[in-house]
Amino acid sequence: MTSRPGAGAAGAAGQRELLSAADVARTVARMAHEIIEGTAPAEAVLLGIPSRGIPLARRLAARIGEFSGTAAAVGTLDITLYRDDLRRRPTRPLEPTALPVGGVDDAVVVLVDDVLFSGRTVRAALDALRDHGRPRVVQLAVLVDRGHRELPIRADYVGKNLPTSRDEEIAVLLSETDDRDAVVIRRSQQ
């Protein structure tokens, strides 16, 4: 984006850009390097958690392939049916699930999500994963860790630590689903 507002300046919609498109690309590349060090790409399975974990997992896998010469398997894991707050909200639509052909048994699974917040999504993902097989190791990669954990969960690969207040909301924008790449912060709409 050429008209990037400076850090700290309020944007038009009362939102502030924390990471630009270039920052996102750099961060994804760095995370890919870290994942190569932390796993053996040949046995790694990157599972994106819908919705924005899916394009992130694909980008990470592409970078890993580029940097290491070995492609990592990619898949999608929907966790809706394992959420602990289903009965507190209107019906949630389900998202796609697609595991790589070899499954997850004995693999090094890297769960990929855009934002790590309460940790409840990751808890649900761990439960979902258990029903699909028995990975050798499970790790977690997130583009943004915004704090406020409600469960004893931490990420193995963090793109950016962004301390936030609870009445703020972090939005990760990716060109696959949004109009551009960016991470923005704004007042919670609730």
Letters for 63-82 (x = contact with another protein by CB under 8 A, - = none) are: ---------------x--xx
Question: In this structure, how many other beta carbons lie within 10 angstroms of the beta carbon of residue 139?
Answer: 18
Task: Name the residue nearer to another protein (CB basis): 6 or 87.
Answer: 87
Is 172 a binding residue for another protein by CB under 8 A? The answer is no
Cα separation, 95 vs 43, whole angstroms? 25
Distances, alpha carbon 134 to alpha carbons 49, 69, 96, 104, 123, in Å: 18, 27, 21, 7, 16
Is 91 a binding residue for another protein by CB under 8 A? The answer is yes
CB of 144 to another protein, least distance (A): 27
Nearest to 47 by CA among 70, 30, 68, 72: 72
CB of 134 to another protein, least distance (A): 9
- The region of 26-34, 56-64, 129-137, 168-176 touching another protein under the rule CB under 8 A is 129-137
Would you state the structure tokens that stand for residue 7, as one six-digit string?
């850090």
Is 92 a binding residue for another protein by CB under 8 A? The answer is yes
Q: Which of 5, 38, 103, 147 binds another protein (CB under 8 A)?
A: 103
Question: DSSP 3-state assignment of 144?
Answer: strand
Show the DSSP H helices in 4-159 as ranges: 21-38, 53-68, 120-132
Q: Which of 43, 95, 156, 169 binds another protein (CB under 8 A)?
A: 95
Q: What residues from 131 to 170 belong to the interface with another protein (CB under 8 A)?
A: 131-133
Task: Name the residue nearer to another protein (CB basis): 113 or 145.
Answer: 113
